[in-house]
C-alpha cells in the first residue's frame, strides 16, 4: 500500500481529516520513523510498523509536530504484568521478556499474533504515560473466560517525575480507538502488500 492510499485509509478508518493524517505522516517521515524511498510507482509500500507508529502518534498527541516524540514516548511503554486484569493474552504474562507497545502493534497490523484477534480497544492516557488494550472474553479460555485488559506502562523513575510535576496534576487526556478500526487497516495493509496483489498491479 503506497503512502497516499495509506493516509486515506487511516483517515477513513479512524475518522480523522485527511489533511491531519497527512501532517502526522509528514512529521514522522521527517523524524525518520516511517518507510521512505522513491516516489511514484517505485515508492515503497507502507508496513505494519508504519501503521503502528502512526496509530501511536495519533493517540499520543493532538499536535502533528509532536508525532515523533509521541512515538518515542508511548511506543516504548512496556507491559506491566502487575496491572493485568481478567483473562489476558500470553504475551502479557511473559516473565522473561517485556514487550513494548510498538512491538505488539506491529504484530497486530502484520496479523502475526493470533492472540491479538480478540482485542476490542486501544487507549492511551497521555499524562499517566499508560496504554491499555482490552480484550474480549474468548481470547484465551474456551471454557468461558472473562474479558481482560493489558496495561503498558512507563518505568518507575519516569512515573516519579510525572507525579512530582505540578503541570501534570488534574489532567487526564485519554485517546481511544476501537480494535475494529485498527483491524480495517491491518487487513488493507496485508492485502495490498501480498505477493498476489503486487503481481496484479
Cell numbers at 109, concatenated: 497490523
Cell numbers at 85, concatenated: 486484569
**Does the structure show a pLDDT above 80 at 1?**
yes
The structure's pTM equals: 0.89
Which percentage of the chain shows pLDDT scores above 90?
A: 70
Q: How big is the chain by its Cα radius of gyration, in Å?
A: 17
What pLDDT is stored for residue 162 in this prediction?
67
CB 14 within 8 A of CB 58: yes
Task: Report domain extents, the chain.
Answer: 3-196
> Helix 3-14 to helix 18-30 angle, to the nearest 10 degrees?
130
Amino acid at each position: 500500500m503506497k503512502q497516499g492510499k495509506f493516509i486515506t485509509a487511516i483517515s477513513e478508518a479512524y475518522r480523522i481529516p485527511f489533511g491531519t493524517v497527512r501532517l502526522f505522516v509528514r512529521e514522522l517521515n521527517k523524524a525518520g520513523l516511517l518507510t521512505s524511498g522513491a516516489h511514484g510507482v517505485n515508492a515503497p509500500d507502507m508496513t505494519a510498523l508504519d501503521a503502528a507508529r502512526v496509530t501511536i502518534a495519533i493517540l499520543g498527541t493532538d499536535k502533528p509536530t509532536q508525532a515523533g516524540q509521541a512515538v518515542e514516548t508511548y511506543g516504548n511503554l512496556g507491559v506491566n504484568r502487575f496491572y493485568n486484569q481478567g483473562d489476558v493474552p500470553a504475551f502479557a504474562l511473559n516473565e522473561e521478556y517485556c514487550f513494548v507497545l510498538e512491538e505488539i502493534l506491529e504484530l497486530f497490523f502484520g496479523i502475526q499474533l493470533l492472540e491479538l484477534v480478540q482485542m476490542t480497544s486501544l487507549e492511551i492516557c497521555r499524562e499517566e504515560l499508560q496504554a491499555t488494550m482490552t480484550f474480549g472474553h474468548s481470547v484465551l479460555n474456551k471454557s468461558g473466560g472473562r474479558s481482560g485488559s493489558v496495561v503498558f506502562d512507563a518505568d518507575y523513575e519516569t512515573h516519579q517525575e510525572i507525579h512530582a510535576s505540578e503541570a501534570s496534576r488534574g489532567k487526564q487526556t485519554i485517546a481511544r480507538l476501537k480494535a475494529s478500526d485498527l483491524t480495517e487497516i491491518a487487513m488493507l495493509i496485508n492485502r495490498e502488500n501480498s505477493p498476489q496483489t503486487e503481481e496484479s498491479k
